[in-house]
Amino acid sequence: MSEEVTNALVNLDEDKTLELVKDALKTTDPLKLIEALREAMTIIGEKFDRKEYYLTDMIFAAEIFDGAIKQLEPHLQKITTEVLGKVVIGTAQGDIHDIGKNIVVSLLKCAGFEVIDLGVDVPPAKIVDTVKKVKPDIVGLSGLLTTSFEPMAKAIAYLENAGLRSSVRVMVGGGPINEEWAQKVKADAYAKDAVEAVKLAKQFCG
């Protein structure tokens, strides 16, 4: 059954994936189903890397995954699983685009990370306050518009000023962002896409 769930999600068949998960819960360990879903998202990510799947496919896959997880959540309340790390993520102030960020969030959850999603148009001060409160391993900052550049740079500077910079790794990403800009604002890494972001997160928390 787990293999069928994996194949259904890889094939982007929403109805079949959700129906299989629902049926499998009667006889299958929910953790095995989560692994099946994670495996599917990993395969989908690899297909995206090879340009076999497109951004729209990634978005749809993330939606199916989230729907399946919601079915599983009531059965997981008493189950504790190992968390690879904690990530605070958000689209920087001045930008309300969230498609790329949302895909990163889904893939990070698939990989076993606890994710605190701050949403869009996030002020630098809110990022600092959240880091103080939840003590994450990684901060992820996203931006598609150039208006997000200054707030993103400020967020990293504010973390430094607050004495928090050494306790977290900062990843940046988004359409106009590149490696050179990441180095300029003293980020730890630039992720060109969601798959790369997860690889970096695993390296940071490995």
Q: Which two structure tokens, joined as six digits, stand for 199?
A: 């690889």
The residues assigned a catalytic role are 95, 97, 148
- Give the pLDDT confidence score for residue 192 in this predicted structure: 87
Question: Using N-to-C axis directions, what is the helix angle for 99-111 and 30-49, rounded to 10°?
Answer: 130
- Long-range contacts for 127-130 (Cβ within 8 Å, ≥24 apart)? 127/88, 127/90, 127/155, 127/158, 127/159, 128/155, 128/158, 128/159, 128/162, 128/164, 130/88
**pLDDT exceeds 90 at position 168:** yes
Q: Is the pLDDT confidence value at 80 over 60?
A: no
Q: Specify the CATH number for 2-76; select among 2.40.50.100, 1.10.357.10, 1.10.1240.10, 1.20.58.100.
A: 1.10.1240.10
More confident residue, 59 or 153: 153
For the cut 60, the answer to whether the pLDDT of residue 78 exceeds it is: no
Report pLDDT digits (tens) over 82-107.
789 999 999 999 998 887 888 888 88
Task: State which fold the 86-205 domain adopts.
Answer: Rossmann fold (3.40.50)
Same CATH fold, 86-205 and 2-76?
Answer: no
Q: Where is pLDDT greater, at 54 or 130?
A: 130
Confidence of residue 72 (pLDDT cuts 50, 70, 90): confident
pLDDT confidence of 18, banded at 50, 70, 90? very high
- Tell me: pLDDT of 77 over 60: no
Query: pLDDT value at position 81?
Result: 62
pLDDT band at 76 (very low <50, low <70, confident <90, very high): low
Q: Is the pLDDT of residue 12 over 70?
A: yes
pLDDT more than 90, % of the chain: 60
Residue ranges of domains in the chain: 2-76, 86-205
Mean of pLDDT values over 34-42 = 86
Q: Token digits for 154?
A: 């400020």
